[in-house]
Each structure stands twice: as C-alpha cells, then as structure tokens.
Amino acid sequence: MMDYNFELKQNARNLRKNMTIAERKLWSKIRLKSVKGIRFYRQKIIGNYIVDFYCHKAKLAIEIDGGQHYFGAVRKKDSVRDRYLNSIGIKVLRFSDRDVLTNIEGVLQRIWENI
C-alpha cells in the first residue's frame, strides 16, 4: 500500500467534485478502464501530494496544468513534486489544459504509449 497524507483526504474529495473542464474531458475518456483496460483514479493522494489522475498498474501519474503551472513558484513546486514521484517509481505525464481541450486524441495516444 502506498503512503499518503490522511489530512489531504477532504481536499482530494473537493477536487473530485470541482474538476476543471479539461480534467472532466480527460476523465470521460480514461474512466471505466477504457485505456488498455487499465483503471485510473482521479485526485489520488500519493505521499503529501494529490495527483490529477493515477494508474497504479502502470505507475503513471497524469497532471493537467493550467497556465499558472508554467511560471515561478508553481513551476518549482511541480518540479519538486515530480522528483518525489519519480523517486518512488512513478512516471509523471504533464499536459496543458489547452492540449486536453483541443487535442484529446493526441493526449490519449501519449498516455497509451506510456502504459
């Protein structure tokens, strides 16, 4: 079983209830084992972080990033988070919300290639 910060549980629930449009679009394509029959979880707590989507079988985290993720402190926090996830054997794929909204097939292809 993977370690997680129990204090993040309510936050993860709130994030599941308030997904962005891009997150909803991707979730509609990957839920119910629709990518190679593999199950994804949304807003999964891993350590002290919550990842947007996670596939345990493939050890793959998927992050959907809005514009704020490309600058300053948020970018640095994402880098620290990615290093932590990589250190415990989890690969992180990052997509911009724009990619998800305008090129969902390309996003799904890249996920497929990494499973």
**pTM of this structure:** 0.86
1 belongs to a structural domain = no
What total number of domains does the chain contain? Answer: 1
Under the banding of pLDDT at 50, 70 and 90, the label for residue 33 is: confident
DSSP 8-state code for residue 71: S
60 belongs to a structural domain = yes
DSSP 8-state code for residue 112: H
Residue 51 host element (H or E): strand 49-55
Under the banding of pLDDT at 50, 70 and 90, the label for residue 68 is: low
The CATH number of the domain holding residue 11 is 3.40.960.10
53 belongs to a structural domain = yes
Has residue 67 got a pLDDT over 60? no
Token pair, residue 106, equals 């390309």
Per DSSP, the three-state class of 79 is helix
Q: Which residues lie closer than 8 Å to 38 by C-beta, 6 or more apart?
A: 55, 57, 58, 115
Range of the domain at 22: 6-114
Contact 47, 3 (CB under 8 A): yes
